[in-house]
Chains A and B, each alone.
Chain A
């Protein structure tokens, strides 16, 4: 079975500061990893994904994430956040042996303050 843990339920940060949202996963097989963002009253939008290759993945809106197999982590980072980045962020994993279903973490609410 696979699982995803997002270590922080809320992350407050000031505008233009850097931010890191943490994600750890557990799976006995190879995985594909995703970060989704959910703005208030909207669906989920894919930010970035790791399928294979370079462990540093760049996504939309200036976000990037690094896959670390030894630490089973896939932390999301942005060097300078904007007020408009305020949203809920979900880390998700898909294992090779689990069909195409996504297993999501509990979410991290990023609150960007002026």
Chain B
């Protein structure tokens, strides 16, 4: 158990819908990262937040957005969902903004029908 929690574990929804994925980092970690794992794209970095502020951005679509709240949990919002958004979404956390070790949560499996 990494100490990173993600909810829900599974999510099934329809095209065009909007969903919110939630992540709670390890106690004491200030950075949260979101990654997407899909069969065709592999594991891709989406976005990083550090202490409430966006720190780095990767291959995140405009339809996707994220935020980190004062209690340091983070939410990833996915809107206008398409079939191709079906994937495993991982959250990871680390102590600082540039701290090397990231601890991964169990993931949320999103299925878009």
Contact = CB atoms under 8 A, between A and B. Distances in A.
Given A45-B2, A90-B43, A107-B42, A101 B101 contact: no
Contacts of B103: 46
Contact of B56 (A46, A49, A101): A101
For the complex, would chain B's binding face be called helix, strand, loop or mixed by DSSP majority? strand
Interface residues of A, number: 21
B48 interface: yes
B102 A99 contact: no
B100 A49 contact: yes
B85 to A, nearest CB: 19
Interface string B5-39: 00000000000000000000000000101010000
Contacts of A43: 2, 4, 90, 104-107
Interface of B: 2, 4, 31, 33, 35, 42-45, 48, 55-56, 58, 90, 92, 94, 97-107
Interface of A: 32, 36, 42-46, 49, 51, 90, 94, 98-107
16 contacts: A32-B100, A44-B104, A49-B100, A51-B100, A94-B100, A99-B55, A99-B98, A100-B55, A100-B98, A100-B99, A101-B45, A102-B35, A102-B45, A104-B42, A104-B43, A104-B44
